[in-house]
Amino acid sequence: MVRFVLGLTVLGSATAALGATYAQSDSHQGDGFYKSFNFQAISDPTHGRVNYVDMATAQADNLTYSSGDTFILRCDDTTVLSSSGPGRNSVRIQSNKQYLDHVSVFNIRHMPEGCATWPAVWEVGGDWPAGGEVDILEGVNNQSPNQATLHTNPGCTMPSSRSQTGTSVNNDCDADADNNAGCGVQAPSSNSYGPAFNSAGGGWYAMERTSSFIKVWFWSRNDGSVPSDVKNGDTSIDTDNWGKPFAYFPGTSCSMTEYFDWANIVINLTLCGDWAGSSSVYADAGCPSSCVDYVNENPSAFTEAYFDFQWLKIYE
């Protein structure tokens, strides 16, 4: 996703997990996101048609909102933009704390949808691509399914056959190769992304990172196979009981300790940009006009372009 990190401070200390059992170290819900994340009012590194705003602006313009177990993050949906002015106001937040070996579980009710949208939930090291990047939830222009992707320094590759339910689309994680496509895996279910995800009431994403592998799971809201510790946000979890992940990135030909460093969690919504705004990608999605013109002229098209997080829990 977006390859830029500001103000990194290592505040976390990874506690060695016994087997696949982890203890909850952090829990973020409602206004807790304001305390645990910083707002990055920076130029979008992926060249999107957005203007990332600071926390005061986001709150004043209702681009972020919290109440009880709800945290909303969205882009502006009322302003017609001048073609010569800045992009549509949007939000990018980054965790204050960094993590090494850990599990992150995201309980998401709604994700941004619509033409031109490029939402992402991901983790990134402090010296990209040297510190590595793990894209957990990412896609563009309502094009399902979700894709989990790694981006690294040259030399990290994935085996063509591995124990996962998803479909590998590229096995070279090198950020300098294939226009930074990374090594991606598409989830097997259409309700893992976009309108289908939202119609089902969202669901849970989970990522486990160890010195030996990275795994990503997805469970839709009413999926009968959702592990109870995931569904309930328990204070301890056992990933051995979670079944086969949709994305499995083993360290057999990519040393996790060499290619991945302490990482921050990032949540953002950009519009157009290097992926969603690519003329072929945008057109193939059946989206109208040009991406930038569509964003400039159609604010009401972004009323559904928002995240609704019920909670985020981290285990170490």
Domains, the chain, in order of start with CATH, read 21-147+192-239+257-315 (2.60.120.200)
CA-angle at 151, arms to 149 and 152, nearest 5°: 145
Phi, psi of 248 (to 5 degrees): -130, 120
CA 251 and chain centroid, separation: 22
Distance, C-alpha 22 to centroid of its chain? 22
- In the structure, what pLDDT confidence band is assigned to residue 189 with cuts at 50, 70 and 90? very high
Residue 30: which region, alpha, beta or left (left: phi > 0; alpha: psi -120 to 50)?
A: left
Beta carbons of 119 and 139 less than 8 angstroms apart: yes
Q: Is the CB of residue 202 less than 8 Å from the CB of residue 218?
A: no
- Is 113 catalytic? The answer is no
pLDDT > 50? residue 4: no
Share of the chain above pLDDT 90, in %: 93
Q: What is the pLDDT of residue 1?
A: 57
Q: What average pLDDT does this structure show over 49-71?
A: 98
Q: Please tell me the predicted confidence (pLDDT) of residue 19.
A: 54
The CA distances from residue 50 to 74, 89, 90, 273, 300, in Å, are 11, 6, 6, 9, 15
Instruction: Read off the pLDDT of residues 209-252 as tens digits, 9 standing for 90 and up.
Output: 999 999 999 999 999 999 999 999 999 999 999 999 999 999 99
Judged against a pLDDT cut of 70, whether residue 14 lies above it is answered with no
Summarize the confidence of residues 288-300 as an average pLDDT: 98
pLDDT of residue 127: 93
What integer pLDDT is reported at residue 15 of this predicted model? 37
Percent of the chain exceeding pLDDT 70 equals 94
In the predicted model, is pLDDT for residue 269 greater than 90? yes
Q: From start to end of 42-85, where are the E strands?
A: 50-52, 64-67, 70-74
pLDDT of residue 200: 98
pLDDT for 129 beyond 50 = yes
pLDDT band at 287 (very low <50, low <70, confident <90, very high): very high
Q: Is 316 a catalytic residue?
A: no
- The catalytic residue among 133, 208, 258, 304 is 133
User: Is 70 exceeded by the pLDDT of residue 11?
Assistant: no
Q: Which one from 113, 123, 138, 208 is the annotated catalytic residue?
A: 138
Residue 13: what pLDDT? 34
d(CA 221, CA 273): 30
